[in-house]
């Protein structure tokens, strides 16, 4: 039973390009969360999704960032026209419906570097 | 605004001692609090959850306390080992989990 799978592990983009980060939740988990972590900073919440629904996107920048969790396939975090400040580690987590006793299960992250 | 504070300075202790990490929060009334471990280059790993009506929770060498009056949680690792060296994050419940910045623990042999 694989955990949360994120790919790619490392992604290098030039300024102005698009970055697409993928997350496959743990089997049986229907809730997906994206977090961003900058060096020396904590994990910052970005967006919370269920299948085909964005539940909470209060942490997501209004421009250039979007997220989806389609009926089939992984959740995608898309960053358009990347800038140097987007360089960070992006973590995806998943959880089952209304079950908190085991916390969130995190993936190993995607490290985005914008050059 | 809501704030979670963890000691930003690394905690250095000798193997075999008890490590105690602190998580303080303001402007929150969480129903539960969680602790995670994060190793360099990896995602956080869930350790323990404690609810507001629980004073203490234990799991093997780990113990967590939750004082809703002081707005504080303490995380203890007894008989610490070098393998316990990592960054430990507390997280508070809301519509989603909000994380502190974490405290790095270094256990030397």
- Model confidence pLDDT, tens digit, residues A16-27: 999 999 999 999
pLDDT in tens, A54-96: 999 999 999 999 999 999 999 999 999 999 999 999 999 999 8
CA nearest to B88 within chain A: A42
Name the E strands within A1-115: 5-7, 10-13, 19-24, 31-37, 43-50, 53-56, 65-68, 75-79, 88-95, 105-106, 110-114
Provide, as residue numbers in chain A, all residues whose Cβ is less than 8 Å from the Cβ of B51. none
Shortest alpha-carbon distance between residue B101 and chain A (Å): 4
């Amino acid at each position: 039973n694989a955990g949360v799978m994120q790919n790619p592990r490392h992604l290098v983009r030039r300024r102005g390009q698009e970055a697409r980060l993928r997350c496959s939740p743990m089997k049986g988990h229907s809730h997906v969360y994206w977090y961003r972590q900058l060096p020396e900073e904590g994990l910052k919440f970005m967006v919370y999704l269920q299948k085909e629904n964005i539940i909470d996107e209060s942490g997501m920048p209004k421009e250039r960032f979007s997220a989806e969790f389609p009926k089939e396939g992984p959740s995608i975090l898309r960053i358009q026209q990347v800038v140097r400040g987007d360089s960070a580690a992006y973590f995806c987590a998943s959880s089952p419906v209304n079950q908190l006793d085991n916390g969130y299960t995190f993936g190993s992250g995607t490290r985005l570097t914008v050059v | 605004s809501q704030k979670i504070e963890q000691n930003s300075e690394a905690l250095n202790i000798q193997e075999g001692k008890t490590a105690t990490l602190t998580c303080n929060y303001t402007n929150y009334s969480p129903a539960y609090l969680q602790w995670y471990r994060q190793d360099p280059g990896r995602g956080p790993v869930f350790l323990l959850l404690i609810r507001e009506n629980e004073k203490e929770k234990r799991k093997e060498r780990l113990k967590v306390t939750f004082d809703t009056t002081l707005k504080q949680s303490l995380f203890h690792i007894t008989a610490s080992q070098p393998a316990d060296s990592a960054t430990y994050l507390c997280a508070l419940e809301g519509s989603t989990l909000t994380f502190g910045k974490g405290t790095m623990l270094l256990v030397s042999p």
